Structure 1
Amino acid sequence: MISGMRRLFPVPAAGREAADRRWPLAELADAYAYPASSDGTPWLRANMVSSLDGAAHHKGRSAGLSGAADMRVFGVLRALADAVVVGAETARVEEYGPARARESFAARRAAAGQRPAPAIVVVSLGLELDFSLPLFTQALVPTLVVTGAGAPAEALRAARKAGVEVIVAGEGSGGDPARIKAELAGRGYTRLLTEGGPRMLGQFAAAGVLDELCLTLSPRVVAGAAPRVISGPELPVTDELELAGLLEEQGFLFARYRWGTGRP
């Protein structure tokens, strides 16, 4: 028998959920639904995978830590989002392409007033990006680029010549995390998902703009020198995050934690 998804938290009522079944996509989507917002307040969740010994990737990529259940959750999180925010290095290493429309989520997205697929938003300091890639030329919803006021002028001209919308969010060479969140919300992207990488998540965490962390704990150990899922200068100690949900399938744990008031 193929092991299926189990809900560990919130604890289901006795007899209400079978422990050994494949959840339909709609049920997973309900479990990961964004909080309702009537005033357009954005919600930024991060989705990352970690090995048991704390590595954020294996040999530079996350695929070595993933599995079928993790990829199913990954797909659901993308299908719920208005926009997927990713650092330029992660986009390059993981060979990002455009997000695709999924027929199984078409009605749900239409009812929520969303476009057929999420926009990919690449955060880049120097704009050293290849704008001829499908990520920019074949996107169903145009890919956006976010940078700071200190970005090279020549690179800005090249991006705009290629027809790419560049959002300048903050001073210096990089974008300011709070400004990035606000700029995207101002364009109607309020259900936000970031897939890292770890250094960018470190900046987002330090700025206090993350609302939720969806963390897959992979039943694998890899040792090595890979960073943790959130990397960067040490943060002040915060209040404990609130556990909002915990699922399990074939040894993979899928946790959802929400930030409270004790932000760094």
Structure 2
Amino acid sequence: MIQIKTAHEIELMRASGLITAGALKAVKAAVVPGVSTGELDAVAEDYIRSHGAVPNFLGYHGFTGTICASINEEIVHGIPNPERRLAAGDNISVDCGAILEGWHSDSAVTVTVGEPSAEDAALLEVTERSMWAGLSRAVAGGRLTDISHAVEESIRAHEHEYGIVDNYGGHGIGTEMHQDPHVLNYGRPGRGPKLVPGLVLAIEPMVTIGDPATVELEDGWTVVTKDGSRAAHFEHTVAITPEGPWVLTAEDGGVAGLAPFGVSPRT
């Protein structure tokens, strides 16, 4: 069942989203050569708890971290480890979420440790832009796959043939972290549930430099590229409102990210 939120409930999710945004900002500031993913996990947990919320990843189906920390060829669901340290040139996807007064938020960002190579910089830019392309289509009156198609179209617009990870994608979110509907990062437009005010979605493209085929590691969580190529992952939680998309996990509500697409969000 798809959960439709009231205006008040979306306000509560915005408060949760701002805590997740702050936690990610704190983690990004702590990403330096030599830091462990366990230390980054502690930064996120401390921030979330100090702002009156609780981490929604911690304990989820037995997951042991506040963040998912996925490095280089790891796409999603990497487990934080106090023994695993970042090196200059690594890419790390940090996925994070919070629960405040029973309402969830979810967001992710990929950053490079130090200066990125031209190839990595392009990968991150393509992935992040595709997320904003999808968010720009989170408008009342459309269909769910309008978002999926916008993500795919943005990725396919480049000369390099980037891979779009199959089956993994975004999701509804509200009183649970994962709700219906599932939001793929590819597909024909004009299909699926109608986009209506009160629907809240997490949009999260996962893009690879090489083949998008995946393997799950023996830890039962970490998903990696089968060919060892690097991946990137970005995510925001967005509410569909009568006034336009409201990106609940962006500090500015989505103003800067949506501007290139000619979309003005609710703020």
User: Could you state the TM-score of these two structures normalised by the residue count of structure 2?
Assistant: 0.26
- Tell which has more relative contact order, 1 or 2 (C-alpha 8 A, sep 6+): 1
Instruction: Indicate the structure (1 or 2) with the bigger Cα radius of gyration.
Output: 1
User: Could you state the TM-score of these two structures normalised by the residue count of structure 1?
Assistant: 0.26
